[in-house]
Amino acid sequence: MTSHIMPTYGRLAVTFERGEGAWLWDSENKRYLDALSGIAVCSLGHAHPAVHKALCEQSQKLLHTSNIYRIGVQEQLADQLTALSGMDNVFFSNSGAEANEAAIKLARKYGYGLGIDQPAIIVMEKSFHGRTLATLSATGNAKIQQGFAPLVEGFIRVPYNDVGAVADAISQHNNIVAILVEPIQGEGGVNIPAPDYLNQLRALCDQHHLLLMLDEIQTGIGRTGQFLAYQHNRILPDVCTLAKALGNGVPIGACLARGKAAEVLTAGSHGSTFGGNPLACSAALAVLATLEADGLIAAATRKGDAICAGFSARLQGQPHIVDIRHKGMMIGIELDSPCAELVGQALQAGLLINVTNERTIRLLPPLIMDEAQIQLLVDTLSPLILAFTAQL
Ligand SMILES: *Cc1c(COP(=O)(O)O)cnc(C)c1O
């Protein structure tokens, strides 16, 4: 059936036809509980009325004009994003990878401004930043880079959650202009660093005049219990990238900059035909309004804690369970063995989950998930995990 689709994804044999909140229905009308949100995208759940209304109303007026004109809803969205983040300005793109491309270009141009003619960016092992050439070069995963050499130069890789390694890299190179890092690694296995990791990176950047660039594409927009994950640390980055949940399924990305970094990209230095178009921006405005009106960001902490307490009660101390960790509704259950089969078993049981870094069950439930659904998630997945680990 998908023979005319390039096989870039190993797809599960299910086609969803419609959704409502945390529920999805497939072409056989079987119902599923969505604990993945299309990988941290549909945080308001499916078919959210506020997003639906914004898209209908905007599409009756205008879908697209061009960034060679002013765009009212884009300016409104930039006002709200900068107010919520403490940043100064925004470049809008259509995806996460493109937001990171903007950040990488910004860092290089910032370096040229300082007289550094081979600027380099520190990136992390096990990181994920996207699939374009520059972003896959920044990504710390050999599988993602395999077959695409020559890679884009100018990235220096160090272990994640290791401030000393960053300090060493800075002292060994005189051309470093920025650090690009995820506040929590998503694709890399829901890796949560030491509580003061970002604060220490901020201090190193201040000391050496480097840009701290946070990839909040997965952690942002309320996922971890703050609008942005760096707000747990009470710091500000120089650059921050967003995408995934910003449009609740409508493609939109953003590269936010502050201070000196906000002055780097000038007229003619970057662009996008679709980036920040009226349709995508009105969806994002509806997302921000709903997060606020429904108190969903504070709820993410409460609900994430409840989900993990449920799993801990069932799984903690059981054989083969290495760790149950979370920040808000970004949740990882790490086993000591590869466990990709659990994805298909959960699907059979009417539950959507994901396994990342081979051994870590990743849950990214919609922030609107209710108590009964949280209970169902724990009650459905725990026995599957216990049955799976029992036969290891
Ligand atoms: C998903 C993701 C990206 C890439 O976003 P795309 O929209 O797929 O290009 C980049 N960084 C992080 C941390 C992500 O989770």
The pLDDT > 90 percentage for the chain reads 99
* CA 75 to chain CA centroid, nearest Å: 23
Q: Is 244 a catalytic residue?
A: yes
Q: Is 19 annotated as a binding residue?
A: no
> What is the rounded end-to-end Cα distance, in angstroms, of the chain?
35
Cα angle value 335/341/345 (rounded, 5°): 110
Q: Is 272 annotated as a binding residue?
A: yes
* Nearest atom, ligand 1, residue 135 CA: 10
What's the gap in Å between 128 CA and the centre of ligand 1?
A: 7
Q: Does residue 2 surpass a pLDDT of 80?
A: no
Per residue in 205-259, pLDDT (tens digit) is 999 999 999 999 999 999 999 999 999 999 999 999 999 999 999 999 999 999 9
Q: How large is the average pLDDT for residues 369-374?
A: 98
Per residue in 187-199, pLDDT (tens digit) is 999 999 999 999 9
Q: Is 128 annotated as a binding residue?
A: yes
Contacts of 110 (CB under 8 A, 6+ apart): 119, 177, 178, 211, 260, 261, 264
* Nearest atom, ligand 1, residue 130 CA: 4
Q: How large is the average pLDDT for residues 132-147?
A: 98
pLDDT bin (cut points 50, 70, 90) of residue 298 is: very high
Binding pocket residue ranges, ligand 1, CB within 6 Å: 95-97, 100, 128-130, 182, 186-187, 215, 217-218, 243-244
Per residue in 20-51, pLDDT (tens digit) is 999 999 999 999 999 999 999 999 999 999 99
Q: How large is the average pLDDT for residues 302-319?
A: 97
User: What domains sit in the chain, N to C, each tagged with a CATH number?
Assistant: 16-48+305-390 (3.90.1150.10), 50-293 (3.40.640.10)
- Residues recorded for the chain: 392
Residue of minimum CA distance from atom 10 in ligand 1: 129
Annotated active-site residue in 92, 128, 155, 227: 128
Q: Is 331 annotated as a binding residue?
A: no
Annotated active-site residue in 155, 215, 274, 311: 215
* Nearest atom, ligand 1, residue 131 CA: 9
The neighbouring-strand residues paired with 240 are: 214, 256
Q: Is 34 a catalytic residue?
A: no
pLDDT bin (cut points 50, 70, 90) of residue 3 is: confident
Q: How large is the average pLDDT for residues 275-304?
A: 98
Annotated active-site residue in 126, 244, 303, 327: 244
